[in-house]
Structure 1
Amino acid sequence: MTVLVTGGTGGLGRPTTTLLRSAGHEVRVLSRRPGEGRATGDLSTGSGLADALTGVDTVLHLATTGRSDAAQTTHLLDAAKPAGVAHLIYISIVGVDEVPLGYYRDKLACERLIEASGIPFTILRATQFHDFVAAVFRPQRHLPVLISLDVLDQPIAVDEVAERLTELAASRPAGRVADIGGPETRPVREFAEIWQRAHGTHRPIWNLPVPGGMGRAMRRGDHTTALPGFGRQTFAQYAAADAARLDVADARRGSPGGTDEP
């Protein structure tokens, strides 16, 4: 089977592409820059998409810009239908129809475009990745406190989402399939505590309220799934691995280490 992956060089695209190739699929990664294993095309303009989709059976649409996903998805669909693509798989986010956030509304618009396209499809919604939660904490390494958010979250390992996408690529189009999430739902403050323990820091944690409808939806857990989730890796396991990577990086730089996270 020939598969085209959009967003194949991103955080989710890389492990997904690796798993697809390991499963024996011929994989093309859509990119604006030519290279080995790549198909040249631009989702923002539609340029090159027709050629990139020639002979493609399945498309995994993982690309995201955070601001123009619906426009890019429209260009992809316009090229995929005449190319005879038999299965389009789209990665979305749990709660896009519940949480009043601009990015979520754009993802929901993409879902609606795909559903109306006439192309056989599968839509998978996942909760936020562990990396997303960690990204709240990493930039604060020089602050005297660690600022958290007064909401719930259910992070999942990106590799586990890649596993599920690879399974779906080998299956028939199924419409919207069951949402997937991590193995635990906690207040973000608890994830902050876990992060500090893993990285050996002991700063005060300030809980920052998230205002408006978005805050209410996230405190209710509208962006989470029921437990037990699909994922197996806990945030503590992720944070411990991240701290170990920091120790290795410090050793390579000849650093004496320290108690601050990356």
Structure 2
Amino acid sequence: MAVARERGHQVVSLSRAEWVDLVTGRGLDQALQDVETVIDVAGIQTLSTKKAVDYFTNATQNLLAAGKTAGVKHHVVLSIVGIDKANSGLYAGKLVQEDEAKHGGIPWTILRSTQFHEFVPMSIKAASVGPLVFVPTMATQPVAAKEVAAALVDAAEAGPQGRIPDLGGPRTEQLKDLVAAYLAKTQQKKRIVPLRVPGAMGKAMRNGTLVPAPGSAVGRQTFLEWLDTIDA
């Protein structure tokens, strides 16, 4: 929102704080009046494929239906790199979101990005048990959230383009190394326990599927540079 406002755009937030609920559709018709472009960055924290699919189906259908009624001209979606090869949990829901946008009757743009730098502390919080933190074997290319926000506003300003090049950070890293760096920075005495995730998701984590392909857009800020900006 800050990036869009800095560029002179009027911004409306579609959040529960403004009494808008994407899942039920409450408040959408009124909130989207006079809106030309929607940037959909809605999400849910879950490992359940059913919950993710249900959420993104309902939220995206409601958002598109209200957008058509309001005369929205462009629907921009933030998605995740590699979801075609890891179709479970949250990624399955994001695939549904993309498909709904493609067939929702509003000209669209989809930007897939890698995980934000903040993914690391979120993973630590979710996977900690006492002094242990369970870390999946995963190649990742984390990107700055502000750079993704800028890319989304660029996409909104450019008009409907379909699927645009993926966006990732400047370096491919191993998640365990990023977790170790974050724990050291924040002085948390936890022991890292490597975790081999089974199935298609685990394979995608290990083989680089979740890292952007050559020719993708590349951000500037590395994880360690981001880490220097946070308080210990």
Give the TM-score range, shorter chain: 0.7 to 0.9
In structure 1, give the amino acid aligned to 2:20: G
The counterpart of 2:228, out of the listed 226, 240, 249, is: 240
Larger Rg: 1
1:177 matched to 2:156? The reply is no
Distance 1:170 1:139, change over 3 A: same
The counterpart of 2:26, out of the listed 31, 47, 64, is: 47
Distance 1:138 1:27, change over 3 A: same
1:27 matched to 2:30? The reply is no
- Please give the alpha-carbon distance, in whole angstroms, between the structure 1 residues aligned to 2:3 and 2:179: 31
Aligned residue for 1:170, secondary structure, equals helix
- Please give the alpha-carbon distance, in whole angstroms, between the structure 1 residues aligned to 2:70 and 2:220: 38
Relative contact order, CA 8 A, sep 6+: which one is greater? 2
Contact 2:131/2:189, CA 8 A, preserved across alignment? no
In structure 1, give the amino acid aligned to 2:13: V
Equivalent residue, structure 2, for 1:223: 210
Distance 1:44 1:140, change over 3 A: closer
1:74 matched to 2:61? The reply is yes
Q: TM-score, normalised by structure 2?
A: 0.87
Distance 1:146 1:52, change over 3 A: closer
1:151 matched to 2:138? The reply is yes
Equivalent residue, structure 2, for 1:64: 43
Equivalent residue, structure 1, for 2:2: 18
Aligned residue for 1:25, secondary structure, equals coil
Q: Which structure 1 residue ranges, 5 or more long, are not aligned?
A: 1-16, 35-39, 247-262
Q: Which structure 2 residue ranges, 5 or more long, are not aligned?
A: 46-51
Q: How many residues end up aligned between the 2 structures?
A: 223
Question: What is the CA distance between 1:204 and its match in structure 2?
Answer: 4.5
Aligned residue for 1:100, secondary structure, equals coil
Give per-residue Cα distances to partners, 1:144-195, cap 9 Å, x unaligned.
Answer: 4443221211111111111111111211110010000111112212212322
Identity of aligned residues (%): 38
Question: What is the RMSD computed on CA atoms of the aligned residues?
Answer: 2.2
- Please give the alpha-carbon distance, in whole angstroms, between the structure 2 residues aligned to 1:229 and 1:85: 27
- Please give the alpha-carbon distance, in whole angstroms, between the structure 2 residues aligned to 1:65 and 1:139: 14
Question: What is the CA distance between 1:201 and its match in structure 2?
Answer: 5.7
Equivalent residue, structure 2, for 1:258: none
Equivalent residue, structure 2, for 1:163: 150
Aligned residue for 1:30, secondary structure, equals coil
- Please give the alpha-carbon distance, in whole angstroms, between the structure 2 residues aligned to 1:185 and 1:32: 36
Contact 1:151/1:210, CA 8 A, preserved across alignment? no
- Please give the alpha-carbon distance, in whole angstroms, between the structure 1 residues aligned to 2:188 and 2:24: 46
